[in-house]
Structure 1
Amino acid sequence: MRIIDLSYPIHEGMTTFPVHWHPVVEITQLGRFGIENRETRKITMGTHCGTHIDAPRHFIPNGPTIDKIPLEWLVGPARVLNFTPITLPKQEFGVEDFKQRLGDDKPERLILRFDWSDHWGTMKYYTDQPYITEEAGHWLVERGVRVLAMDTPQVDSPDNGRTGPKDSPLHKIMLGAGVVFVEYCTNLRQLSRDEVELVVAPLNILGSDGSPARVIAIER
């Protein structure tokens, strides 16, 4: 059995989406040996910092929050779809790309591998990321996908605006259908099989739109 950690370590200075609604991570030591004789820390971070889950509430008014996502959705077999190598900036993948890799299978959990974590820590990570089409989003919903994990910051095009009808359409389509996203995964290159046991463990934050998560893949 192999266990592969698909989540980034949390630390000050780590990559965060450069907008005011995603705060930077701050970690402050409060308890110290020789003074309080123990170590404790205060952590300040957003619900979408690092490897995390988007609950439907992130974009859907009155949508389910992180504490309402059934745990059985977050643990179980997952198909790994390899979209490498990425040869173009902002490379688009549509329904036919998914049909080629899935055939007639209808997995509840999908992991999209782009090896985009190679660009972690650079602005290219956000500006040039690959994405999937709106038609592919509808198709995945119709196929019964419940959890969509990826090693990119999102499935939407980086060119989509942050307001108006072109603001994150895939988030609205898929989160609106009850799908949950697991964004900012890493180490997908270490996976040696196209099916793994996926374990996604978010913090149980009442009423939250998302949560940082420890994400692991198990190969048996």
Structure 2
Amino acid sequence: MKVHDVSVGLHPGMYVYPGDPEFSLIRMKTGDAFISSLSLGTHTGTHIDAPAHYFENGIPVDKLALENLITSAEVVTPPLMPTRNCTAVLFKNAAPLSLETAKQLLLADIKTVGCDTPSIGDDDVHRFLLENGIIIIEMLDLSNILDGVYRMIALPLKIEGADASPARVVLVEDRV
């Protein structure tokens, strides 16, 4: 079994979406131990968008169905589309998704879609995916991942009521 960490590292000065809060980490000594103060936006680094990102009464990140985040995922490089019987697809080196592609994913019964870019697509694509219950994962690092099927584990922090959350995402390859 091989495990691939496909999350981007969090560090001061890292890329954040224009207008989002900058990442900061302040380490402090308290007696004999150290603690850190962390400040970041919910869309910092590799993150998971919930319907609450676009809809006032949308499902928040802490209420997402975890079975759609721990599932089989197919990594594909466009213009290819998913061909395997997976509930998640991760697009590598992809341009923003079109609304037409988002509709094809819904018809294919995809529950989670991810990309290695800061945004899966424009506002219309986000709204379409999220209103149809398709979870979005953005800012993956798929640079060392071959196209194929993996077991994906993508867990957001349990931030009650949040629109999104940073996440640690791994792909498990069962080939020996």
TM norm structure 1: 0.75
1:54-109 alpha-carbon deviations (Å, 9 max, x no partner): 001101221100011111111011111112xxxxxxxxxxxxx45xx334x45210
Structure 1 residue ranges without an equivalent (≥5): 84-96, 117-129, 158-167
Cα RMSD, aligned residues only? 1.5
Residue 62 (str. 1) matches residue 57 (str. 2): yes
**How much does 1:201 deviate?**
1.3
How many equivalent pairs are there? 174
Deviating 4+ runs (over 4 angstroms): none
Tell me which residue corresponds to 1:134.
99
Rounded Cα–Cα distance in structure 2 between residues aligned with 1:197 and 1:106? 12
Say whether the 8 Å CA contact 1:53–1:210 is kept in structure 2: yes
Higher helix share: 1
Write the letter of the residue equivalent to 2:89. L
Tell me which residue corresponds to 1:102.
82
How many percent identity over aligned positions?
A: 28
Rounded Cα–Cα distance in structure 1 between residues aligned with 2:120 and 2:67? 23
Tell me which residue corresponds to 2:40.
45
**How much does 1:30 deviate?**
2.1
Higher strand share: 2
Q: Determine which structure has more spread, i.e. the larger CA radius of gyration.
A: 1
Query: Helix, strand or coil: the match of 1:189?
Result: coil
**How much does 1:27 deviate?**
1.0
Query: Helix, strand or coil: the match of 1:170?
Result: helix
Rounded Cα–Cα distance in structure 2 between residues aligned with 1:179 and 1:193? 21
Structure 2 residue ranges without an equivalent (≥5): none
Tell me which residue corresponds to 1:196.
150
Say whether the 8 Å CA contact 1:106–1:143 is kept in structure 2: no
Write the letter of the residue equivalent to 1:11. H
Tell me which residue corresponds to 2:118.
153
**How much does 1:193 deviate?**
4.9
**How much does 1:156 deviate?**
1.2
Say whether the 8 Å CA contact 2:60–2:161 is kept in structure 1: yes
Say whether the 8 Å CA contact 2:75–2:146 is kept in structure 1: no
Rounded Cα–Cα distance in structure 2 between residues aligned with 1:149 and 1:140? 12
Query: Helix, strand or coil: the match of 2:143?
Result: helix
